[in-house]
A and B are shown apart, each in its own frame.
Chain A
């Protein structure tokens, strides 16, 4: 018996043997292959140093927050930033106006100079 097996011969043998499998077994193998391919599309890179497993294959954001809620959270964050920015701007405007009013009310010149 020889120990040196040609890879091409092995592939040929495997191809020949699949033709001898029944339809049910072929279908099961096909489904298993499809599922494996689906899992592989979200798997972390092959060259990652951390060991990959079925648990870490999902995106980390999906583990923190359900996928369906993520767009709503993004919208809420955006709106919160807009609201905070607008409030800050309004407050700054109000402060400017009050400083101006105090300046007019305490200036050397009477307010009649500035009022028509």
Chain B
């Protein structure tokens, strides 16, 4: 009687274990080729046209998730999104994850600090733009005798 009960319990435990293993199977849709994308998705992911079909499936899935928000962006945000998409997808998964962590940490800063950082970055960008416009090199000029 005891061995019978033990066998029944084992059956239940194995069944629950197998069913739990099913939850570890990635719950994602099959990889979508560029042709199968909707016009809205293609518009959002236009910069990725050339390399879309070579991207790994999880990365395509993530980009499709971001493309869902495209229609809600302002024109300026859409421009930035397109401008950065290619660079973003060339990063490694670890780099993207590190960037997300930094972004989360940045947003936890007080508003004043965030504004300071933004101001510094804007000044740096303006300086670089001025340098490239005037053709001045970044290296210091040495006096030649």
Interface residues of A (CB under 8 A from B): 71-72, 75-76, 78-79, 82-83, 86-87, 90-91, 94-95, 97-111, 113-116
Contacts and interface: CB of A to CB of B under 8 A. Distances in A.
Contact of A71 (B8, B80, B95): B8
A69 B100 CA distance: 49
B12 A113 contact: no
Interface string B96-121: 10111011101000000000011001
17 contacts: A76-B19, A79-B16, A79-B19, A82-B19, A82-B20, A82-B23, A97-B62, A100-B100, A101-B65, A104-B100, A105-B85, A105-B88, A108-B118, A114-B99, A115-B98, A115-B99, A116-B95
A9 to B, nearest CB: 48
Contacts of B66: 98, 101-102, 105
Contacts of B68: 98
B23 A97 contact: no
Nearest to A84: B23
B127 interface: no
A71 B7 CA distance: 13
A98 B65 contact: yes
B142 interface: no
Given A103-B103, A104-B99, 4 more contacts: A100-B103, A111-B99, A113-B102, A113-B117
B65 A95 contact: yes
Contact of B23 (A78, A83, A106): A83
B69 A99 contact: yes
